[in-house]
Amino acid sequence: MRGDRLLKAPPRGVTLNHLPVDLRSPQDLAPLEKLSLLPGCPDVFGPVPQSVSMDDCQMTADRHTVNPPAGKLFDATHCPIMADALPKRAMLIVNAGSRQGEALFEQAREKLAAAGLELIDAHVVHDPKVMEPVVKAAISRAPMVIVGGGDGTLSTVVDHFVGKDTIFAVLPVGTANSFARSLGLPLDIEGAIDVIAYGRRKRIDLGMINGDYFANVAALGMSPLIADTVPAGLKRYLGIFGYIIWAIRVAFQFRPFRLRVTLEDGTIERVWATEARIANGSHQGGVLLIEEASLDSGEMIIQAVTGTSLLRLAWSWFATLFRLRRRAQTVTEWRGRQMILDSKPHQKISIDGEISAKTPVSVECAKGAIEVAAPREISPQG
């Protein structure tokens, strides 16, 4: 190394190949010298030269190098690992009422610190009524807020990230964790924290029902009936199996309904249905149900299990759960940026597991509404 140019100004920290690097001393370059090819940047990076100096590696707040020719090693315009890096400072807020929330809180704090994240503050929330104000306050203080909870918790607080620069990071400690699945997050605490520490920022869509944002999937028909009546203990201790057991019990109280969908061009579609889903994400109840749905598609999908028979609904769930080839034949789908959904009789709507609307409703896609912590896509070379 060129000793006369070392350490003129400590650069801002960077993360390369999942290694947090502060570059504050010559010793900090040692991990870089061992790297051969950095995943995601095969056309730019080769072996790290022994002559790299602190000035060469120095970066400004906007992630641009001070010395472009030599500093190309860390140029965010060439390297996606740099351009979409997640903040290293965050706040952690966990809903104690979620299935594993309180039990995993301390473990999450320790593992986040071990992964190199500085926690500005951490809270375990016992009263669901204060979850929103606590998250809202955290957004004003931290570049990233980690929310631990189930789908209902996440959907309740997601509104507050809209229009903000704060990253929404998810710690999946709920029952079905459908939004986490739609986002492609690992469901174990170690894997989820790995994404929060070393993943990437990603802009995703949100769904809107009557102007209210939601994260993943809303449903009417059988699902809201289950969500509205399932005992908390059954859900907490048996998880998804608790939902299945309760579904069998309440099936005899259910009646099919007439569904009416008004598309963007004014076309009106009418079908008999036993269940309908309003999808931003692909998973509901922990199961991949709406395969074509994507969190960054710019469109919403309304999917209906058509017909009047509960046996057909059961077959649809079975075929989908076990990925049978004929599963697509049990549903009808419509997609668009804006739609109107109505039913006869009017139906309650479960939004990310919580009853919060009733038909008729307007359905919209809020494209690119928030930024989230997402898994890093591995290149073929990686």
What is the distance between the alpha carbons of residues 154 and 98, in angstroms, rounded to a whole number? 11
* CATH 3.40.50.300, applies to 89-206: no
What is the distance between the alpha carbons of residues 372 and 203, in angstroms, rounded to a whole number? 6
Q: What is the pLDDT of residues 161-201, one digit of tens each?
A: 999 999 999 999 988 899 999 999 999 999 999 999 999 99
Q: Report how far apart, in Å, the C-alpha atoms of 286 and of each of 178, 180, 216, 240, 276 are.
A: 5, 9, 11, 7, 16
- Please state which of the ranges 19-28, 44-53, 113-122, 324-333 shows the lowest mean pLDDT: 44-53
Q: What pLDDT, on a 0 to 100 scale, did the predictor assign at position 105?
A: 93
What is the distance between the alpha carbons of residues 207 and 282, in angstroms, rounded to a whole number? 12
Q: How confident is the model at residue 8 (pLDDT cuts 50, 70, 90)?
A: very low
Domain ranges of the chain: 3-7+20-83, 89-206, 213-368
Q: What pLDDT, on a 0 to 100 scale, did the predictor assign at position 378?
A: 56
Identify the three-state secondary structure at position 15. strand
Q: What is the pLDDT of residues 222-281, one digit of tens each?
A: 877 776 677 776 666 666 677 677 777 777 778 899 999 999 999 999 999 999 999 999
Q: What pLDDT, on a 0 to 100 scale, did the predictor assign at position 19?
A: 40
Instruction: Report the Cα 278 to chain-centroid distance in Å.
Output: 17
For residue 38, is pLDDT > 90?
Answer: no
Q: What is the mean pLDDT of residues 302-323?
A: 90
What is the distance between the alpha carbons of residues 259 and 153, in angstroms, rounded to a whole number? 29
Going by the DSSP 8-state scheme, the letter that residue 216 receives in this structure is: S
Question: Judging by beta carbons within 10 Å of its beta carbon (0-12, 13-18, 19+), is residue 182 exposed, middle or buried?
Answer: buried
Q: What is the pLDDT of residues 141-169, one digit of tens each?
A: 999 999 999 999 999 999 999 999 999 99
Residue 59 · residue 52 · CB < 8 Å: no
Q: What is the mean pLDDT of residues 138-143?
A: 97
Structurally, what CATH architecture does the domain formed by 213-368 represent? Answer: Sandwich (2.60)
